[in-house]
Structure 1
């Protein structure tokens, strides 16, 4: 199974990769299947059922809206985030869908998009089933899908909820563990970003890859800019006020060269993370990195690199993203990046580890130091629960990204002060994360039935 850096970092829509991006992709995939099989003209109605964590917190995560948008032919990468809610409202009000953008079918919001709060499909907590009916009520096509984290979607025919989307591409330097990756680096005399780059060239040229990655970085920067300028209250009913704009104004008035605050850089990192995750919570355009719930960490640490590290440039940005993705791949294939499967340690923990690795790489770390930084990043997020208040990606998710961003920077700096040798390997930490997630009660895995979700009064 081969994964690309562009699988780990993709442009999408908030507030959740597994609950919004994944369902939208699955719904579009289902509609595309109707068209390719010639069944679309005979379809007069479609039904969608969401199970497990999707059913439990789908309203707060916009899963129901995402399904409607996907059925109407929209993709997370290109859907107009400014009009998305209006398009869904119009479908409900007009009682019709335009499958694939053109084919009209009747639509009943209450009956045709059903969220099962306490039913699950067998292979993964994020399961969904789509059904197309003809004018006699006969089922023309029925498919189940699983949203397995980070916007990845697999067909319901998979066994055991495969953690990666099948890709049989042969890579020059395949690796499935941190130890294998380090061995390749030592044998070939390459950095971690060099190994990733060599693998990426199987899919596209270096120029194309660079353009795509800098495009990802541009979306991250735009997301921060949007988050710093958008005032108001976040949607969902918790009355959470956006804090990034006021913090940005305060910091913009501070002269970094004359400020006596030794932690001024940390304040900026907090701002970058808050801006991204407030945009995510509002359903804005973000980069899944590797999930939406943890989308602020990699951009915040990358902004730290470009703003506070002398000599930072676009080459460094590319190397940062490549090294971070190498670590993300290890989490993806050996554990999970799905909060519904392993808790927030799989989202914020993975992102913290990835960002630590990326920063360590561009600060001149050796492969062993980069692996050490990644291990520190996840080790100190082990056991982190996913308990969103009200099923919204707001409390504690937004602040959690800010805290983890600073933690990632600290992990990279700690690793750089060592020689790369350490007692706990990244592989062992990832294995521990997977086992901890398996032991974790379901109420702490994105169901909003435990932790802060039940101990904080919604207002």
Structure 2
């Protein structure tokens, strides 16, 4: 089975703070509601209940999962909804309940207690699981479905066959990095060219370019908004937003350097500011792009803006190549390991995003396919074992700063790879497999449950 996943699916426009805990459950709840409508059972439904299992139950409150479920049942979509309509959607129900228009049209009464948390119960399909039940007048539910939120906003319904990639529509299929490099060598093309050929077969030339441009515009808008927004992030940790203050300081430093006729190198600091801006937006529940997840959403846009702002000759065409190369790397990780923090720890999220950004930047800086593969491997290798231990179940500490550090690592990995000829001891395939094994061996408390690491050693105040 080919590893290829379209960039238009990997980079999905949604809302914060989590692709697996917010975007995925919202999509699952919406699919459940629309399924009721399609089957003719919507009008007989008077109540809907939802049980959040495993990681969704453990950190769902901090990640806004109950809000996402209620919003999804009401027919909202993460890609085009107003984030304000999702924030506190569950809390607004009140203890006595409130009206939810199921699938956007059928009114039911729903209480907060209709969404329950079962963090100690793990279903076999995935650590992120939720069961939705529709009730009528009888003692048994009129419909029941279990869904898995498998990372990056992707969802799978229990019992459905695992979707097979449309290999016949992909002229250049691959399942490993070795196969991808072999295609590049055989055809004399880049990783980006392989991705583009597969994308065009599905979306057409115009469709893929328009889709990539929309993705980048959403990423850039997220950075812009984050660089302007101030205040304290929600959730009780009282984390102050820093990106706007950092922007002002850097603008002043750049201005003074220009006045003096000199040039102070602030590229690395701007890179961090870009990443902070995105992840502060994500933590506030704002509009973000999964890349490949929300918790790691700051790395791809930060490194992309670094390229546009500090690399001579950078342009929109380069950004398309950057995103296509990054998506090729993400496809390999998603197929052969995981991009889910609940499954593999933060190495699966921030580690994957760092590898994607490193490979993409190496490509637009003129790297060969083998140098690009090396850059991605370097970035992933140095995130092996990284745990997912969000304090208070919020995507704030250490998540926001972690994106800034990983952005710097991505740039370093790309430039280090460019100084070699692409030959190296550890292959990208080997490091992806190592990440999979490490995630499997990692204790549950370090995989997005807030039961270990910083989550239990930092006093919430």
- Aligned residue runs from structure 1 range 134-145, under 5 A: 134-145=136-147
Q: CA deviation at 1:262?
A: 6.0
Q: CA deviation at 1:105?
A: 1.0
- CA distance, structure 2, for counterparts of residue 192 and residue 241 of structure 1: 40
Number of the residue aligned with 1:208: 207
Number of the residue aligned with 1:424: 426
- Aligned residue runs from structure 1 range 172-251, under 5 A: 172-251=171-250
Q: Secondary structure at the match of 1:147?
A: strand
Is 1:109 aligned to residue 112 of structure 2?
yes
Q: Secondary structure at the match of 1:136?
A: coil
- CA distance, structure 1, for counterparts of residue 393 and residue 317 of structure 2: 39
What root-mean-square deviation, in Å, do the aligned CA atoms of Structure 1 and Structure 2 show? 1.5
Change (3 A) 1:205 1:31: same
Q: Secondary structure at the match of 2:203?
A: coil
> In the TM superposition, what whole-angstrom CA distance separates every residue of 1:223-258 from its partner, at most 9, and x where no partner exists?
011111111000000000000010011111122656
- Mapped contact 2:68–2:89 kept (Cα < 8 A): no
- Mapped contact 2:99–2:109 kept (Cα < 8 A): yes
Q: Secondary structure at the match of 2:253?
A: coil
- CA distance, structure 2, for counterparts of residue 138 and residue 235 of structure 1: 39
- CA distance, structure 2, for counterparts of residue 154 and residue 22 of structure 1: 9
- Aligned residue runs from structure 1 range 1-150, under 5 A: 1=1, 2-85=4-87, 87-92=89-94, 95-110=98-113, 112-150=114-152
TM-score by length of 2: 0.96
- CA distance, structure 1, for counterparts of residue 202 and residue 303 of structure 2: 27
Q: Secondary structure at the match of 2:358?
A: helix
Change (3 A) 1:357 1:259: farther
Return 197-206 or 448-457, whichever deviates more: 197-206
Please, which runs of 5 or more residues in structure 1 have no aligned partner?
Answer: none
Number of the residue aligned with 2:338: 336
- CA distance, structure 1, for counterparts of residue 82 and residue 261 of structure 2: 41
TM-score by length of 1: 0.96
- CA distance, structure 2, for counterparts of residue 317 and residue 439 of structure 1: 37
- Mapped contact 2:97–2:109 kept (Cα < 8 A): no
Q: CA deviation at 1:353?
A: 0.1
Is 1:306 aligned to residue 308 of structure 2?
yes
- CA distance, structure 2, for counterparts of residue 352 and residue 99 of structure 1: 39
- CA distance, structure 1, for counterparts of residue 261 and residue 27 of structure 2: 47
Return 202-211 or 178-187, whichever deviates more: 202-211
> In the TM superposition, what whole-angstrom CA distance separates every residue of 1:412-439 from its partner, at most 9, and x where no partner exists?
0000010000000000000000000011
Change (3 A) 1:261 1:347: farther
Q: CA deviation at 1:108?
A: 1.3
- CA distance, structure 1, for counterparts of residue 261 and residue 53 of structure 2: 52
Change (3 A) 1:224 1:143: same
- Mapped contact 2:253–2:264 kept (Cα < 8 A): no
Q: Secondary structure at the match of 1:204?
A: helix
Please, which runs of 5 or more residues in structure 2 have no aligned partner?
Answer: none
- CA distance, structure 2, for counterparts of residue 84 and residue 167 of structure 1: 32
Q: CA deviation at 1:137?
A: 3.3
Number of the residue aligned with 1:167: 165
- CA distance, structure 2, for counterparts of residue 94 and residue 109 of structure 1: 7
